[in-house]
């Protein structure tokens, strides 16, 4: 486990540091300017049909005199492409002097926006280079706007409840299906952090909830229920207030759109209904007494942990699934050759195929072909670990964000919230994306979040069961450092 960027400072000459918090905010439009394919669902075909509602990035720039700064960016995106995160953080560092630990590039996990990563199989959508350039420029512009809008604020926290989501893993006929399971866990808690000006008006909100924004599968641009809810809240608050949604650990929770015991994909009317319900609960929280959060030194740090993977398939197996002729010993895709013998990369003492969970699945043949070709082209069939980034950002006494570059199972969210007495909020889909992080129990059960997802995210194998304890240990070390 590697530590990076513990950031804090004190005033010179022995003076006590000032913990008075200043906050600058902005909201910038990141809606695609021309038609392109959307990301998140394999069933969509072609460019989007229309813009149902625009996409935004909401930017909160925190600053304390002499003690540090922090930038939290919440964008109506599926995720941030890992291959562009370092470049964007470097640009923000050049302009504002922020380290990587002081920057949270967060996505609401909106499934009705553009793809931002080219690391996955094409079924999840392909990134558009022009859009990526436009997006990054808008983020830099928005950060500049926020940096020119600092005002002193106080912070307070309130808690509400909203039962919009339902556990989506259910055992049916001996196997785990993506199906509504009301007996499974789904966190209903809504956490609201309010930043108020000296005149009592709201300058900004952070709204934390955990539910997949997968209400609608229409081929239209939309900010889904998180974006709709934040817009309604901003309209109600007025005075230029910015309400930023931060997504919790929702890998196994989706909107409770259920008919005859099965999920159904809704439309924009369902997006409106769910978004309005969330907005109403947030506004209700604001009418009740909230707990003041005392200012303290802004503190941030990042660790990276290596999570072990199970046994991957051999190159020969991948060539078969990629529908290559036996005589084709090399595959040229995106540079690089993958023409090695099976033993060269994975050893000759591979376990029997029946012991490998990958062999027991039967994904769509086209998806299997895409996955196999991707692994052969980038040589990731050799990969034995995947790197999870954990970033801890303490913003007040008793309030911090724990950001991860993954889709975390709900049990991890409960571990963080309960284990640290409610003072740490888990925030997924931040600073890149590596894929799903199931628990050891879910790995034993199987299902999409445990195994099948690898065909879309380009991993050569599922996580090993011991990954769960590595993650928990890493979180404990990071938060208590």
Q: Could you tell me the CA-to-CA distances from 286 to 157, 195, 256, 278 in Å, in that order?
A: 9, 11, 25, 13
Cα–chain-centroid distance for residue 67?
Answer: 28
Comparing CA positions, the residue from 98, 28, 90 lying closest to residue 63 is 98
Q: Which residues contact 438 (CB under 8 A, 6 or more apart)?
A: 251, 409, 449, 450, 462, 463
Per the listing, tokens 């997504």 go with 247
* pLDDT 10s digits, 341-391: 222 222 323 333 334 444 444 568 889 999 999 999 999 989 999 999 999
* pLDDT 10s digits, 378-433: 999 899 999 999 999 999 999 999 999 999 999 999 999 999 999 999 999 999 99
Cα–chain-centroid distance for residue 388?
Answer: 12
Give mean pLDDT, residues 132-144. Answer: 99
Neighbours of 260 (CB within 10 A): 5
Of the pLDDT bands very low, low, confident and very high (cuts 50, 70, 90), residue 85 is very high
* pLDDT 10s digits, 271-317: 999 999 999 999 999 999 999 999 988 999 999 999 999 999 999 99
Distance CA 54, CA 283 (A): 22
Distance CA 26, CA 206 (A): 13
Distance CA 153, CA 469 (A): 39
Residue 335 has pLDDT above 80, yes or no: no
* pLDDT 10s digits, 169-191: 999 999 999 999 999 999 999 99
The whole-number pLDDT of residue 181 equals 99
The whole-number pLDDT of residue 346 equals 28
Half-sphere exposure of 19 (CA within 13 A, CB side): 15
The whole-number pLDDT of residue 7 equals 36
Residue 262 has pLDDT above 80, yes or no: yes
Cα–chain-centroid distance for residue 391?
Answer: 13
Cα–chain-centroid distance for residue 3?
Answer: 21
The answer to whether 370 touches 392, Cβ cutoff 8 Å, is no
Stated as kind and residue range, the H or E segment containing 31 is none
The whole-number pLDDT of residue 115 equals 98
The whole-number pLDDT of residue 67 equals 67
DSSP conformation class of 33: S
Query: Is beta strand 436-437 parallel, antiparallel or unpaired with respect to 407-408?
Result: parallel
| pTM of this structure | 0.90
- As a whole number of angstroms, the longest Cα–Cα distance in the chain is 75
SS3 content of the chain, % helix, strand, coil (to 5): 30, 30, 40
Task: Look up residue 48 and give its two tokens.
Answer: 């989007």
Burial level of 97, CB count in 10 A (0-12/13-18/19+)? exposed
Give mean pLDDT, residues 7-34. Answer: 73
Give mean pLDDT, residues 5-16. Answer: 40
């Amino acid at each position: 486990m590697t530590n990076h960027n513990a950031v804090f400072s004190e005033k010179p000459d022995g003076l006590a540091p000032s913990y008075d918090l200043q906050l600058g905010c902005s909201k910038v439009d990141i809606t695609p300017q021309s038609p392109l394919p959307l990301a998140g669902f394999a069933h969509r075909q072609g460019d989007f049909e229309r813009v149902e509602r625009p996409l935004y990035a909401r930017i909160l720039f925190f600053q304390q005199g002499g003690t540090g700064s922090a930038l939290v960016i919440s964008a109506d995106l599926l995720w941030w492409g890992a291959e562009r995160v370092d470049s964007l953080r470097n640009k923000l560092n050049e302009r504002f002097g922020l380290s990587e630990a002081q920057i949270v590039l967060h996505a609401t996990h909106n499934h009705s926006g553009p793809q931002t990563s080219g690391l996955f199989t094409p079924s999840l959508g392909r990134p558009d280079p022009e859009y990526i350039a436009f997006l990054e420029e808008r983020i830099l512009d928005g950060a500049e706007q926020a940096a020119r809008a600092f005002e002193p604020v106080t912070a307070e926290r309130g808690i509400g409840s909203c039962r919009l989501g339902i556990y989506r893993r259910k055992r049916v006929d001996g196997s785990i299906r993506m199906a509504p399971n009301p007996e499974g866990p789904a966190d209903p808690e809504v956490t609201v952090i309010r930043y108020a000006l000296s005149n009592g008006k709201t300058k900004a909100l952070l709204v934390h909830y955990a539910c997949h924004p997968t209400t609608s599968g229409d081929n239209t641009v939309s900010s889904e229920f998180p974006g709709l809810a934040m817009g309604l809240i901003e309209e109600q608050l007025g005075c230029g207030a910015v309400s930023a949604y931060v997504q919790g650990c929702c890998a196994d929770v989706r909107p409770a759109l259920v008919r005859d015991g099965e999920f159904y994909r809704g439309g924009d009317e369902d997006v409106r209904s769910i978004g309005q319900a969330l907005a109403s609960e947030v506004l209700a929280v604001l009418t009740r007494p909230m707990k003041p959060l005392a200012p303290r030194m802004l503190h941030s740090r990042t660790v990276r942990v290596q999570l072990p993977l199970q046994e991957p398939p051999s190159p020969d197996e991948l060539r078969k699934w990629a529908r290559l002729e036996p005589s084709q010993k090399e595959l040229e895709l995106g540079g690089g050759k993958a023409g090695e013998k099976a033993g060269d990369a994975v050893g000759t003492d591979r376990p029997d195929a029946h012991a490998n969970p990958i062999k027991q699945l039967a994904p769509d043949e086209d998806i299997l072909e895409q996955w196999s070709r991707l692994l052969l082209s980038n040589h990731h069939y050799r990969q034995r670990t995947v790197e999870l980034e954990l970033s801890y950002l303490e913003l007040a006494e008793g309030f911090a964000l724990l950001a991860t570059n993954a889709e975390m199972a709900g049990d991890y969210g409960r571990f963080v919230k309960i284990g640290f007495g409610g003072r740490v909020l888990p925030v997924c889909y931040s600073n890149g994306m590596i894929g799903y992080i199931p628990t050891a129990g879910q790995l034993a059960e199987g299902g999409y979040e445990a195994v099948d997802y690898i065909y879309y995210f380009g991993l050569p194998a599922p996580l090993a069961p011991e990954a769960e304890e590595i993650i928990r240990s890493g979180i404990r070390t990071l938060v208590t450092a």
